[in-house]
Each structure stands twice: as C-alpha cells, then as structure tokens.
C-alpha cells in the first residue's frame, strides 16, 4: 500500500514517525487517555453514519479478522457509485496504492458532498488537512466533489452533529498534498531508519507515540505532563 490519510498526517508531522510506524511499530506507546479519545471518536463516527437517514456502509473485513479489506472496500464503493447510492459511508478509494476511506459521501445534483466526522467541538487546521488528503484521492479517482464538510460535535445530544463547510480551504491544499505524498511514499520504504532530531514536532500538533524511544526516557511519565495541553486528535 502507498500512503493513507493517517500516514500522510503522521509523516507531515515527522518523517521519522511515519518510518517507525512502518518498520518498528512495536515501539509505539499509546497513553490510555489517548486510546480512550480515539475509541470515543470511532463511536461518534459510527453514530454519524445515520445523520442523513438510510445509508450503505462499505466496510469489508479480511476473512476471520477485524482488519479492513481495502481492495474489496474500494470495489464495493465503485459499485455503489455506479448505482448512484445516495449516502455511502466508509467509501474507499485507491489511487496508485494511496488510500483513503471517506466517512460519508452524500449525492448531490452534480456529484458528491463529503463529510469528515471529528469528535471535537470545533474545526482545527489538522482536520482541514485530513479532508484535503481525501479530496486529492477522490478527484484523482474521478469523483466529482461538490462541497466538503467537517462534522463536529454539537452542543448537546439533541444536536450531536454540526457540519462546517471547508470546501475552499481543503481544495486549496491539493498542490501541497501532491508536493509531499510521493516523497513520503518513497521515504517510508527506505531500509535505514530516518534520522530526525527531537524537537517541537514531538508534541505539535499531536503528542508522538514514539516519544520515549526518541528521547530515551520513560514515555508514560512524560506523556502525562503534556497530554492536557494538546488538542483533541480524533
């Protein structure tokens, strides 16, 4: 596989982080607080699938495992695009082995709007970059993208889903995605470990799960100190 949305975001924070994901993932330590946030984000995303009523979900797992079968998901997505299915969730696309799965695609008169769901109260810059990656893959997969939204968490359970339009901002980042995606793909396959000095990127915009490895220090203790200062990353 080439570069996924997660790979891209992690590689742009620190190239070594992406390299470690591919070659030494056993060194990763995810603090329980972060794992709980990620789980809550997944739950919020599952609920958001129904925000426009009936939908078709594209998730397909590899036989006997809880791992998505990306190729089958992409094939199923193409089938539903051909059928003109009005709402498609976890719509998967592969472009030169780069991959993304869009939370929600909603049919419009001229193509599809897409919605990226985030369990956060407001839109962060990182969310727009997430959406820009998806826009890049979708347009190269011949999907006519109409509008782009980040769905944030509403003020209460009566209004849980708030779409925020970010169409222009996300589309404007397409050249930036193109400038970096191919280099990240080449870099992640290198045999030698990437050499990067620790710095601001270790906690900005998100805490790095290899912090202990790169700083040669007990990870959990240091993570406790920084967790409260960081934005939600789900």
Please give the Cα distance from 16 to 159 (Å, whole number).
40
- Whether residue 68 contacts residue 75, with contact meaning beta carbons closer than 8 Å, is answered with no
Binding mask 186-205 vs ligand SF4 (x if CB under 6 A, - otherwise)?
A: ----------x-x--xx---
* Smallest separation, CB 119 to ligand SF4 (Å): 24
- Whether residue 95 contacts residue 137, with contact meaning beta carbons closer than 8 Å, is answered with yes
Residue from 81, 89, 94, 208 binding ligand SF4 (CB under 6 A): 208
* Smallest separation, CB 209 to ligand SF4 (Å): 7
Contacts of 5 (CB under 8 A, 6+ apart): 99, 100, 101, 130, 133, 134
Residue from 93, 114, 136, 211 binding ligand SF4 (CB under 6 A): 211
* Smallest separation, CB 29 to ligand SF4 (Å): 11
Please give the Cα distance from 39 to 82 (Å, whole number).
33
Residue from 89, 101, 214, 223 binding ligand SF4 (CB under 6 A): 214
Residue from 34, 127, 210, 223 binding ligand SF4 (CB under 6 A): 210
Tokens of 109: 């008169």
- Whether residue 15 contacts residue 194, with contact meaning beta carbons closer than 8 Å, is answered with yes
Pairing mode, if any, of strands 56-57 and 161-165? Answer: unpaired
Residue from 5, 16, 106, 118 binding ligand SF4 (CB under 6 A): 16
* Smallest separation, CB 123 to ligand SF4 (Å): 24
Number of chain residues interacting with ligand SF4 (CB under 6 A): 12
- Whether residue 180 contacts residue 8, with contact meaning beta carbons closer than 8 Å, is answered with yes
Region of 23-31, 136-144, 145-153, 206-214 interacting with ligand SF4 (CB under 6 A)? 206-214
Residue 86 lies near ligand SF4 (rule: CB under 6 A)? no
φ, ψ for residue 10 (rounded to 5)?
A: -70, -40
Contacts of 68 (CB under 8 A, 6+ apart): 59, 60, 61, 62, 92, 101
The residues binding ligand SF4 (CB under 6 A) are: 14, 16-17, 20, 196, 198, 201-202, 208, 210-211, 214
């Amino acid at each position: 596989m080439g570069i996924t949305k997660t790979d891209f975001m992690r590689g742009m924070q620190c190239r070594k982080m992406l390299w470690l994901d591919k070659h030494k993932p056993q060194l990763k330590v995810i603090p329980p607080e972060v794992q709980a946030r990620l789980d809550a984000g997944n739950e919020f995303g599952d609920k958001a699938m129904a925000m426009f009523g009936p939908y078709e979900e594209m998730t397909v797992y590899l036989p006997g495992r809880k791992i998505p079968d990306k190729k089958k998901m992409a094939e199923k997505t193409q089938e539903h695009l051909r059928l003109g299915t009005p709402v498609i969730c976890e719509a998967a696309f592969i472009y030169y082995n780069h991959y993304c799965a869009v939370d929600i695609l909603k049919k419009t008169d001229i193509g599809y709007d897409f919605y990226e769901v985030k369990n956060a109260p407001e839109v962060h810059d990182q969310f727009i970059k997430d959406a820009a990656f998806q826009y890049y893959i979708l347009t190269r997969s011949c999907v006519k993208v109409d509008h782009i939204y980040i769905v944030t968490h509403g003020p209460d359970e009566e209004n849980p889903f708030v779409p925020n339009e970010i169409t222009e901002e996300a589309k404007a980042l397409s050249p930036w995605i193109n400038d970096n995606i191919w280099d990240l793909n080449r870099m992640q396959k290198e045999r030698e470990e990437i050499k990067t000095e620790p710095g601001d990127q270790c906690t900005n915009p998100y805490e790095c799960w290899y912090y202990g490895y790169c700083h040669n220090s007990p990870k959990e203790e240091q993570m406790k100190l920084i967790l409260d200062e960081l934005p939600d990353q789900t």
